Structure 1
Amino acid sequence: MRGLGAVVVVLLVCAAPVIAVAGVGNDWGNANVAEADVPTRSDADTTVKVHQRPDPRSDVIGWENGYWHNESIAVNQDDGLTNAERKAYVGRAMARVEFIRNQEFKRPVQVEPLPRKQYEGMVRSQVRSQYTPSQRAWENQIWEALFVTGEKSDSARQRMQLFQQRVAGFYIPSNGQIYVISDGNLVIDNATLVHELTHALQDQHVGLGSSQFEAQTMDGQRARDGLTEGEAAYVEARYVNRCGNEWSCVEMPGPPQEKTPYRGGRLPEFNLGMQVSIIQPYSDGPAYVASNVESNGWKAVKRQYRNPPKASAQVIDPNAQNGSPTPLKLDGQARNGWKLYGEKGENGSETVGETGIYTMFWYQGRAYDNAVIDWQSFENPESGKFDVFNYTSVPSDGWSNDRIWPYHKGDKRGYVWRTAWESNRDAAEFQGAYRDLLRGQNATQVAPDTWVVKNGPFADAFRIVRNGRTVTIVNAPTKEDLRDVRPGTETIRSKSKR
């Protein structure tokens, strides 16, 4: 979706982007204003107000487009939103975002419906234009390296299906508009509206279209999204916490939506492993932002925008240092016709980060009954009330850097995946867990540090070599091809027990 130039809200549970959680800190002002005993609505009343507070003499925080943050409005979405209801709903929501964020909107924000079929066509067109055959092959190997998609899968198509099904709305910085995906009459979930309005507020103050919010790697983008999506989800959570307590909120019609089957059962139509990887900023970002707000207020978040996190590990653990990951490079060259793909990603490589490594082990348990980690603890976060999911595990903790270099030779595919860890123990834990993953895929050890998976979507040869705090994985179709993809690794013996 970055290719669409949009900032999206991805569905974490189903219709609700974030589970309702308790807020922290003290908001300024008095949120308790007497509600009208009997709300009334007049078709001629274009403001749809139940009671009127005097407008301020100048624009102030907590008032926007004629509505105070604690103003009552008569909006019923059972038959969709009228234009007047939409104006009232959006205006008051903007005032509430200002109130929570303690920051003023500089200009109005338009919220428009987008029919789902039209949105799906937009995503399809974007994927077709963005993914050349070479790009598709390169990205297929990244997701294959994470054991999320098999060799014959089209990861670009699976990503397209995920975004077509799991996006509720998005904000486009280039035109400053919010689009809400609609299947008929326009209805807007409170959380989606507030989330996207927060993106609009961010854009008006820091410019979300600037290069500082773009990264060359998957993990670098997860890190930056941990700040921008984390702030939006944090504001959203504090908003939702007030609904039914201090504020009356517009209700969504219809029955509650079913939860995403993270714990077990039949896999959904979209790729659940991809979703777990993509939603990490929405899960850990709110706790990351909350830790800054609780320590030094919103000014701490302002400082973060000048120096955003560089790795998802820093968002998973808000106490982690915001330094650059350990440098990694590819020493030596492949031979006998094996080639890199050029300048895709970062000089032909991709970094999947702690998030990607956790996802790999999690998805093995969820999709293949290959329980390398306690994957069912995913829905039991440990780092506080704003953390939605648990992205920590023994073999992914201690990550310092990683790079995957995909290779090709005709129709053959392979890769070198080099990981760096904070300690020898962390590296050994990752190496051991990766071997357990291969055993769960019915791999056979055919030589020291060398394994072969004979059947299934991941049928390939693998070499796993540890040298101190660095673990290198080489993948190729056959044991013989391993020597060509990465010459010399067969002579380096791992420094840990097999």
Structure 2
Amino acid sequence: MRGLWTIFVVLLVCAAPVFAVTGGVTDDVSDAGVEAVGKLTGSNVDTSPNVRQQADPQSDVIGWENGHWHNESIAVNQSDGLTDAELKAYVGRAMARVEFIRKQEFKRPVQVESLPRAQYKRLVRAQARSQYTPSQRAWENQIWEAMFVTGEKPDAARQQTRLFQRRVAGFYLPDRDEIFVISDENLVVDNATLIHELTHALQDQHVGLASSQFEAKTMDGQRARDGLTEGEASYVEERYKNRCGNEWSCVEMPGPPRAKTPYGGGSLPNFNLGMQVSLIQPYADGPAYVASNVESEGWEAVERKYRNPPKSSAQVIDPNKANEEPTTLQLGEQARNGWKLYGKKGENGSETVGETGIYTMFWYQGRVYDNPIIRWRTFEDPESGEFDMFNYTSVPSEGWANDRLWPYHKGDKRGYVWETNWRTNEDATEFQRAYRDLLRGQNATRVAPGTWVIENGEFADAFRIVRDGRTVTIVNAPTRDDLSDIRPGIEDGRSNSRDVRPAIHD
């Protein structure tokens, strides 16, 4: 399930776009997911260092595009918007710089166009109305409610729509060689955003971003693939920014820099911060993931990854993890007394939120609810070098081996079964304890072994938590009696299944 990603697949001529998001990794999201759109210091005019213009090559070469070498100066000032001539020079030199950093040649020209934000918002809103049926909205609500990012009443689909309407700065259209920059008035283009989106164009021309290998049925599977594509684009972007003002002159954006997203504290923004933390993970960890491959074996290693992309966000969070399929999980005994799955949504009726989703769940509790289950403030203190932007590692999430979340419904009633698998018994126990602390932070009361009830508030429900070795199963229902209907094999924290070892309740 790709959420609003799917919206753009339909909206933009059946091509999955690659986004640039404002306020993302540094504060903006870019096309194949959410990209960092950093701000550079200096004037609005491309002035320094002073590089002599060079003669054009006799044939197209890496580091030269459309009449411009990567290290030339150009006469571009976008304080009052870009003229056609300025845009042509700006894009041509940027393409040459992407080639120079990436060591790969563009096969075709790339167009950059402006899309007014008001028009963009209308398109997103119209497509959201078309995609999000009542059933799909209920599904989305249960996924994000299970992560304790939205409660029962808020509309998760609407919050995702709002996030994309406000935070996306631009996107690239695979198979179209087109980049759209969302602007309010005159066309201005952040140079880092341009480099990021042009890298997506280069990827598309060589590996085809619209191919099925870059799509996944689950949230976590998509995060993994985006970790490669967005990671490479963000890595090239960072390599580019490191040269600005030193080796290269760079076109500056007019106006003040955007405000930093308040991850560390203070007033909450006017969009769902938990959704954004989940969304930007490929942009945050992807650059370090790509850098680890480039630094060890060169760009050839990255090209091999395109033939065998990562399978989970855990492999992007920690590049040292083996690129293997997550462990298999099955639902087992079906619900009874009218409780039903949502057909084939997601992966045969289930979603996988992954290590990223579980980290987000615990991080959000500390940031928004003052329930410090993990050291959530370390989010802004990455530990994996200059290309790692945020820290998605915590004790109760890093032992992840797989998870599947099955939402259920019965009329207007909602519930779910969430099965999580961990690499060791200790990892499973750490997750179980952390989840119990989450419930306590939401004022849950323990009413039986492994069974908890939140009486009031946006997460008012009954919960059952059972650990069986390396597997922790969470059952959610409106009432305690409904728990046994949604998951008949587990009664008050004890498993009745014949094919498992005795379960351990909290």
- TM interval, shorter chain, is over 0.9
- 1:454-480 deviation digits (Å, cap 9, x = unpaired): 111100000000000000000000000
Q: Which residue type is aligned with residue 165 of structure 1?
A: R
Is 1:2 the counterpart of 2:5? The answer is yes
Partner of 2:250: 249
1:213 aligns with 2:211: no
* Rounded Cα–Cα distance in structure 2 between residues aligned with 1:286 and 1:420: 27
Cα displacement string for residues 178-205 of structure 1 (whole angstroms, at most 9, x for unaligned residues): 0001011111111100000000000000
CA positional deviation for 1:230:
0.3
- For the residue of structure 2 that corresponds to 1:415, the secondary structure is strand
Give the secondary structure class of the aligned counterpart of 1:179: strand
For the pair 1:35 / 2:50, whether they are aligned, the reply is: yes
Quick check: 1:18–1:388 contact (8 Å CA) kept in 2?
no
Shift of 1:19: 7.1
SS in 2 for 1:345: helix
Contact 2:262 2:269 in 1 (8 A): yes
1:14 aligns with 2:27: yes
- Superposed displacement of residue 125, structure 1: 1.7
Alpha-carbon offset, residue 9 of structure 1: 1.6
Give matches, 1:41-440, under 5 Å. 51-440=52-441
Offset from partner CA, 1:223-278 (integer Å, 9 cap, x none): 00000000000000000110011101001111121100001111111100000000
Give the corresponding residue for 2:11: none
* Deviation at residue 488 of structure 1 after TM alignment: 2.4
State the SS of the aligned residue for 2:403: strand
- Displacement of 1:374 in angstroms is 0.8
Match of residue 463 from structure 2: 462
Change beyond 3 A, Cα 1:19–1:209: closer
Q: Distance in 2 between matches of 1:191 and 1:244?
A: 13
What stretches of structure 2 of length at least 5 have no aligned partner?
A: 9-15, 30-34, 40-47, 496-501
Q: Residue type matched to 1:169 in 2?
A: G
What's the CA shift for 1:283? Answer: 0.2
Q: Distance in 2 between matches of 1:122 and 1:90?
A: 26
Letter in 1 for 2:240: Y
Distance across 2 between alignment mates of 1:56 and 1:392: 48
Give the distance between the partners of 1:366 and 1:20, measured in 2 at CA: 24
* Residues in 1 aligned to 2:376 and 2:504: alpha-carbon distance in whole angstroms: 25
Aligned mates of 2:126, 2:220 — CA distance in 1: 25
Could you tell me how far apart the structure 2 residues matched to 1:127 and 1:260 are?
25
Indicate how the Cα distance of structure 1 residues 344 and 174 shifts in structure 2: closer, same or farther if over 3 A, else same.
same
CA deviations over 1:151-204 (Å, ceiling 9, x no partner): 011111000000011111100113220000101111111110000000000000
Q: In the alignment, is the contact (CA less than 8 A) between 2:49 and 2:247 conserved in 1? A: no
Regions of 4+ moved over 4 Å: 493-497
The percentage of counterpart residues that share the same residue type is 75
Q: What secondary structure, in the 3-state scheme, does the structure 1 residue paired with 2:258 have?
A: coil
* 1:10 CA drift (Å): 2.1
Instruction: Give the paired residue count.
Output: 473
Query: Is contact 1:112-1:177 (8 Å) kept?
Result: yes
Q: CA deviation at 1:34?
A: 7.1
Distance in 2 between residues matched to 1:264 and 1:454, nearest whole Å: 28
- After superposition, the C-alpha distances for 1:420-448 in whole angstroms (9 at most, x for unaligned) are 00000000000000000000000000000
Give, in angstroms, the shift of residue 86 of structure 1.
Answer: 0.5
Q: CA deviation at 1:131?
A: 1.2
> Which residue in 2 is equivalent to 1:41?
none
Amino acid at match of 1:486: R
Q: Deviations over 1:109-137 (max 9, x none)?
A: 00001100111112112211211111110
**C-alpha distance 34-339 of structure 1, shift in aligned 2 (>3 A):** closer
Secondary structure of 1:483's counterpart equals helix
Q: Summarize deviations over 1:310-366 as a string: whole Å, max 9, x none.
A: 000000000000000000000101011000010000000000000000000000111
**What SS does structure 1 have at the residue aligned with 2:415?**
strand
* In structure 1, distance between residues paired with 2:37 and 2:211: 30
Structure 1 gaps, min length 5: 22-32, 37-50
Output the TM-score relative to the length of structure 1: 0.93
Letter in 1 for 2:242: N
Assess if the C-alpha contact under 8 Å between 1:94 and 1:197 holds in 2.
Answer: yes
Q: CA deviation at 1:2?
A: 2.6
Q: Give the aligned partner of residue 451 of structure 2.
A: 450
What SS does structure 1 have at the residue aligned with 2:142? helix
| Native 8 Å contact 1:428 1:496 kept in 2 | no
Helix, strand or coil at the partner of 2:406: strand
Of 132-141 and 421-430, deviating more is 132-141
Higher deviation after alignment, 131-140 or 62-71: 131-140
**How far 1:18 sits from its partner (Å)?**
2.4
| Secondary structure class of the residue paired with 2:397 | coil
Residue 304 of structure 1 aligns to which amino acid in structure 2? K
What is the rounded CA distance, in whole Å, between the counterparts of 2:491 and 2:430 in structure 1?
21
Give the TM-score, by structure 2 length.
0.91
Q: Distance in 1 between matches of 2:202 and 2:341?
A: 42
* Paired letter, 1:10: V
* Distance in 1 separating the partners of 2:333 and 2:272: 35
The CA distance in 2 between the partners of 1:81 and 1:240, in whole Å, is 21
Residue 496 of structure 1 and its aligned partner are, at CA, apart by: 5.2
Q: Distance in 2 between matches of 1:274 and 1:35?
A: 44
Question: Match of 2:18, as an amino acid?
Answer: V
Q: Which residue of 2 aligns with 1:475?
A: 476
Counterpart Cα distance in 2 of 1:139 and 1:63 = 46
Contact preservation (8 Å) 1:190, 1:249 = yes
Separation of aligned partners in 2, 1:410 and 1:390: 40
